[in-house]
Structure 1
Amino acid sequence: MRTRPLYDVVAALARVGVGIIFMAHGWQKIEAGITATGRSFDSLGVPLPTAAAIYSAFVEVLGGAALIAGLGLPITGVLLFMDMAGAFLFVHAENGVFLVDGGKIEDGYELVLALGLASLLFAAGGGGRLTVDRWIVARRLHNPDTEEEEEDDAASFVDSLRGTETPPAEQPPKKRRRATKTQPEPAETPDDSDNSEEDVMVAGARKAARKQRTPGVTEEL
Structure 2
Amino acid sequence: MRYKVCICYDGTNYYGFQKQKDKLTIQSELERVLSKIFNESINIIGCSRTDRGVHANNFYFHFDTQKEKDTVKLVVSMNKLLPKDIYTKSISKVNNEFHARYSVISKEYIYLIDTGVYKPTLRNILLEYNKNIDVSKLEKASKYLIGTHDFKSFTSDERENTIRTINYIKFEKDKDILKIRINGDGFLKYMIRNIVGLFLEINEGIKSVSDVSKILESKDRTKLGKKTESSGLYLNEVNYERL
TM-score, normalised relative to structure 1? 0.26
More strand by share: 2
**Could you tell me the TM-score, scaled by structure 2's length?**
0.25
The higher-RCO structure (CA 8 Å, 6+ apart) is 2
Q: Based on CA coordinates, which of the two structures has the bigger radius of gyration?
A: 1
